[in-house]
Structure 1
Amino acid sequence: MPGDPERLGGYWLAGRLGAGRHGVVYDAYDDAGRRFAVRVPRGPLPRVRPLTHPHLAGVLEVRPGGPAPHVVSEFACGTSLREALSLRGPYAGEELIALATAVASALACLHRAGLTHGDLRPGKVLLTGEGPKVICPGVPGALGCARTYLAPEAVTGQRPGAAGDVFAWGGLVLFAATGEDPFRGGSLGEVMHRVLSCDPDVSVLPPPLRDLVARALSKDPASRPSAADLLLPVTVQVPPLPGPPSLGEVAEELYASLPAAAQGRLRDLLVALASGTPPGTGLDEPVLARLLASGLLVRPSVAVPPVRTEAGTLVAVTGDRLAPASGALFHAWPRLRAWLDQPAEDTRSWARACLPPARPRLGWRGFRFRWATRTVLAAVTLTGAGAVMAEWFRFSPRSRTAPDLDLH
């Protein structure tokens, strides 16, 4: 989006994974092409610190300084629980128990570290190839018609702690079994009334979960079990669902679908863009349209004087030149990285901005050696040039006809 940074710290931002009232989460890559999630909160940084767990998208770095404080987490590639239910329907039996236990174990890890999640709901659980993973801990939720997972104490203005996460866990398990948000309502007042006064029906749950979820949804925080008490024996794995492909995967799939001639022209185009050379595309319009539609390339807008139109005031138009949608492309796509491993001598802007330095800087000794070498070469060149000019003057016709001059 306009105004989004292209780079934070050592991470290149390829696009938004999500955005809300608490901040923006970006799809990010480091210089080696590894994928991460970078979260830029609105307001103060959440109370998190580096932490790893099999069912938690581990926080790797917390950077409070700089113009945009941010949190770097491992990238959990999978479909959210809410999307999964729209694709495959509710969970039941051992799969439901496995899902509930995985989420409970992630909460128990946070609570042992003295942290809470604060916004557990179906959109914050991803079904990855490594099992369910809970993402974005430490951001407190907000009451609303779509957020019916906050504990009663949060509705009455108290600060929910670990017991609030347990309440949200109970609502999440019930959602996974029914496909319906607990305490849902048509207005904020109805949601508040249900959270404070209604007990949802848990009879649809298998016996091992039924009592645990009922206790977790207690209105009294002191009556709820701890997250560690929610763990049950697991006999099956929760089937994963694929998440969004990486930028490199998108680029490689498009490249593989092109004929050989178009592949060569695309390579030349991207290498030219990396060197900062304004290229001619050489690509057919259908191929170029696919590159633009895939989000790999863009045509940057050009500012123009404000012009009144029927649709409003026109302040920019689409330009003719091409540019990478993000500098992350030069890191996230292994094939392109191989093309640019040895950039040409005239590579300047994109190579310097997007690639690691090609060679280390010279130290003081290296500088003195290079200076001395160039000085000697210059002296030899000037001496040779002087000798050639002297011989030319000696044997030129003008030197033979000029009269002798008496300097006395």
Structure 2
Amino acid sequence: MLKELMFERLRKIEDLEQRQLLKDIVSGVFVNLIDYQEDMNRKLEERIFNEMDDIENKYDIYATLLPREDVDPIHDCLFPICPTDVEEKKIYTDKLLGSIKKHEPAMLMTIFLACNSDVIQHLLAQPRIFRGSLKTSEGQVEIQVGLIKNNLYVKEIEKLYSIFQINGLPWKTINHPFVHKFLDVIVVDCPPLHEDVEIEEVTIDLEEYEQYKRLNMVPLWNIQPHVVKNSGFPFPAIDRVNFEHVLSLRKTGNQHGYVIDTEEENVRYVKRSDHELTIVSPLEQSGEWRLLKIAKVEQEHIGKLNFALVSNSRNDYFMHKLSYKNNQNVSTKGEIIRLINSFEAADMLELVKIDVFEEHEPIGSRNLIQPFLMDRQEGNNYKKTMLLQFISKQDRDFIANDVLSFLIAEIQRHFMEYKCVGKWL
């Protein structure tokens, strides 16, 4: 900027000899000085930025969905939430009949509905009975089935929340829109069957919802369990009560994030370095530790995906790093806008209006994507309701409502005194 200004002034000198003389002086002395100063300013800016140790991005959770046959068992960074999802499911007649006899939900299968959350909520709010059939070793059997919400994957996210607390890591809402679209198919009515009859195939007709039905779908995330042994023997911690267990991360890769998956009483705190994880624990014996590796996701290693890859990662801005480091919130509209825009997931929408009401009842969409946190929050006596209204920057797909719910859940975590709700304009 300064160089351009200097040369602009030179061009305004009418005396060509003086212009040439000044140009030689400026080019020989001042230009090099300006370049040096700009280079020093840039290095200072990088140093300040890098001093904000951004460990948060090592614990970003990425998520997507694949058909069972497309899941890569040796993928670098995407793994099934439940490893058993990649196995062929078999229905055992005796177990099915036992559940029916005890008047318990007899689950046949799990399906995925590729539709927005409003459709699923409407379907679950008004229970429907659908026709189905079992192809058995004794012939075709007509049955009636119903649908209930599948909570298996939400429970896995709840477990991860507890693990983050044990490891002393701040929690961010998991942006996994697909896990909220799985439904369990349960038997409502079934004719008598012999226990030795084999069920070979199950078919169901969801009528107007049939177009959304997907079978054998597997939700993925970038979390993989590992078992790691101590590097040597534990040695007494500085408090002379607990012991330090050192785990090497060289084999599994130190570029990833790691958390200890164990009981709370086994960990006092965890220390992290570039190549090691040190667990301060009352356990004095050497042994094996279960780690969860939160794999670093690199675009070139992802491969072909059938559905979008989403995450709870933030944009790499200095203010977001500073806010994360200090962990302080300012209750202003600007802070809400900054929080929302800090997430990469917010690139497809824009917050246009914030209203605060005295009403306690929800005024907009409030999909409880973290019921294990909402249970704690509902104990608060909310004084007001905060309604956040958004517009979409692109055509809304079937996960748009779930992304909106993810952002609302993050705002709710920071503004506990309000009941936060959101809706599209």
The structure with more strand, counted as a fraction of residues: 2
Q: Which has the larger radius of gyration?
A: 1
Q: Which has the higher contact order (CA 8 A, sep 6+)?
A: 2
Q: Which has the higher helix share?
A: 1
Q: What TM-score, normalized to structure 2?
A: 0.21
TM-score, normalised to structure 1's length? 0.22
